[in-house]
């Protein structure tokens, strides 16, 4: 049976890994276990070989796998639920242990749901991407937001590193089995988690400034709703905010990515699931390590990054082409004449660029006969809406097509010199700590 890329399916077939998971869950008499994403049932069958527990509830989103397991496994202790674990686990349940070989892209959201459960399982054993597992387990001075929140409600421990060859098809990154042993928390943790997110928004800023910033993502989405505009939150090499905007019905799936040559691209996707697959397959875990100022570069060359992006239905845009230094993509295009032919458009107005720079971008875009876009580059909330890309369209696909076919217009303005300096300081601070 073929796996579905959009669901992030990698089928486990290594018995040493299942043995590790079964041992880690410490099955006891009367246990009720939930398995997330059983797939073909390789881990499921290993669990059912244990005789002590009373019930194994498998949650499977893919109807094909769910149907096959229901027909194949006749053990009275086994129950299969066809559905989305992220939704099902939000409801009260009686299971005292959770296991799962989970799609990598749901790890953060799953941990958030588990962290907010009033009654948590005794033990949680998950297979996830190695890099994510290391971030979960991280301790000071390498603490991340993910590890700070997770360590508040659980004791995390990596049990086993799993090579790509343990799966079919093989992922391009290593995986890890991680054990989470929840703590008993008497207080409501939600306000504390909110506080942590504020502190980690800009780790090198003072706490006072971070608290003033607050929940920036939520405010950004709410401001877009108030302005009755759609937005694409194109974070560097991240999609969580873009996904949130999409699920609020005001977002266009998008991400900003940077090649190892320091060239930035904006990729807008026709389908949300394509963005998730692209991020999982080519972006997450492929960052180059930097010292000092971080250019947010990926391991791919410019040509490689374009090729990988073009595997999907996307609108590929060159942002701020007259930036200073190595990010000046106009100069790069003069040395690499093939670049412009691979693009659908050029960003002609960027709010935090000087008018003279935007004028150069407009002139160049006219000369290439490519589509044009504009953006607020809203590193600060107050800049949102300074520049808009406009078109008559009934849906995202039609809107992106109109840009390709030059049936749109761009309206906007540059910020003042003072605001530009302020914005540059914000960007500089983010890049120091990214």
Q: What was the pLDDT predicted at 32?
A: 94
Q: What is the mean pLDDT of residues 391-400?
A: 87
Q: In which band, very low, low, confident or very high, does the pLDDT at 380 lie, cut at 50, 70 and 90?
A: low
Query: What tens digit of pLDDT does each residue of 302-342 get?
Result: 999 999 999 999 999 999 999 888 889 999 999 999 999 99
Give me the chain's average pLDDT, please: 83
Q: Is the CB of residue 111 less than 8 Å from the CB of residue 100?
A: no
* Residue bearing the bigger pLDDT, 212 or 109: 109
Q: Is the CB of residue 68 less than 8 Å from the CB of residue 45?
A: no
Question: Which pair of structure tokens corresponds to residue 155?
Answer: 């004791």
Q: In which band, very low, low, confident or very high, does the pLDDT at 182 lie, cut at 50, 70 and 90?
A: very high
Q: In which band, very low, low, confident or very high, does the pLDDT at 79 lie, cut at 50, 70 and 90?
A: very high
Query: What tens digit of pLDDT does each residue of 3-50 get?
Result: 444 444 678 889 999 999 999 999 999 999 999 999 899 999 999 999
Question: Which pair of structure tokens corresponds to residue 45?
Answer: 């069958």
Task: Report how far apart the first and last C-alpha atoms of the chain are (Å, whole number).
Answer: 40
Q: Which ranges in 142-206 belong to alpha helices (H)?
A: 145-153, 190-199
Q: In which band, very low, low, confident or very high, does the pLDDT at 382 lie, cut at 50, 70 and 90?
A: low
Q: What was the pLDDT predicted at 412?
A: 76
Q: Which residues pair with 251 in a beta bridge?
A: 231
Does 383 have pLDDT greater than 70? no
How would you label 404-420 residue by residue, b for 16+ Cβ within 10 Å and e otherwise? eeeebebebebbeeebe
Q: What was the pLDDT predicted at 140?
A: 61
Does 170 have pLDDT greater than 50? yes
Domains of the chain: 5-191 (3.40.50.150), 205-433 (3.20.20.140)
Query: What tens digit of pLDDT does each residue of 114-149 get?
Result: 988 888 999 999 999 999 999 899 876 577 778 888
Q: Is the CB of residue 11 less than 8 Å from the CB of residue 164?
A: no
| Stated pTM of the model | 0.51
Q: Which ranges in 93-234 belong to alpha helices (H)?
A: 107-115, 130-137, 145-153, 190-199, 207-213, 216-227
Does 427 have pLDDT greater than 90? no
How far, in Å, CA of 76 to CA of 78, rounded? 5
């Amino acid at each position: 049976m073929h796996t579905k890329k959009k669901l992030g399916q990698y089928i486990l077939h290594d018995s040493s890994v299942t043995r590790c998971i079964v041992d880690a869950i410490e099955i006891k008499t009367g246990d009720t276990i939930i398995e997330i994403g059983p797939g073909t049932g390789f881990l499921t069958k290993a669990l059912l070989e244990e005789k002590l527990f009373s019930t194994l509830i498998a949650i499977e989103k893919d109807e094909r796998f769910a149907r096959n397991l229901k027909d194949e496994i006749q053990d009275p202790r086994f129950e299969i639920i066809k559905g989305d674990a992220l939704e099902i686990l939000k409801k009260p349940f009686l299971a005292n242990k959770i296991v799962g070989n989970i799609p990598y892209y749901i790890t953060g959201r799953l941990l958030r749901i588990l962290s907010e459960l009033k009654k948590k399982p005794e033990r949680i054993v998950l297979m996830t991407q190695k890099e994510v597992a290391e971030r979960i387990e991280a301790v000071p001075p390498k603490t991340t937001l993910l590890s700070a929140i997770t360590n508040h409600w659980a004791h995390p421990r990596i049990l086993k590193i799993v090579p790509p060859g343990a799966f079919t098809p093989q992922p391009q990154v290593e995986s890890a089995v991680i054990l989470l042993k929840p703590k008993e928390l008497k207080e409501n943790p939600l306000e504390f988690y909110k506080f942590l997110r504020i502190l980690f928004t800009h780790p090198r800023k003072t706490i006072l400034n971070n608290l003033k910033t607050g929940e920036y993502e939520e405010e950004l989405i709410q401001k877009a709703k108030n302005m009755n505009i759609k937005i694409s939150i194109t974070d560097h090499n991240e999609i969580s905010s873009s996904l949130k905007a999409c699920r609020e019905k005001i977002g266009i799936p998008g991400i900003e990515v940077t090649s190892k040559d320091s060239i930035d691209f904006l990729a807008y996707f026709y389908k949300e699931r394509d963005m998730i697959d692209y991020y999982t397959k080519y972006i997450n875990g492929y960052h180059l390590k930097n010292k000092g100022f971080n250019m947010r570069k990926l391991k791919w060359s410019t040509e490689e990054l374009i090729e990988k992006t073009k595997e999907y239905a996307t609108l590929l845009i060159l942002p701020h082409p007259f930036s200073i230094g190595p990010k000046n993509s106009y100069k790069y295009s003069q040395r690499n004449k093939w670049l412009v032919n691979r693009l659908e458009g050029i960003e002609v107005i960027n709010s935090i660029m000087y008018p003279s720079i935007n004028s150069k971008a407009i002139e160049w875009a006219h000369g290439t006969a490519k589509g044009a876009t504009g953006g607020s580059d809203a590193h600060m909330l107050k800049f949102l809406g300074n520049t808009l890309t406009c078109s008559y369209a009934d849906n995202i696909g039609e809107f992106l097509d109109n840009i390709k076919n030059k049936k749109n217009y761009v309206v906007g303005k540059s910020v003042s010199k003072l605001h530009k300096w302020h914005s540059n300081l914000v960007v500089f601070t983010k890049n120091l700590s990214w």
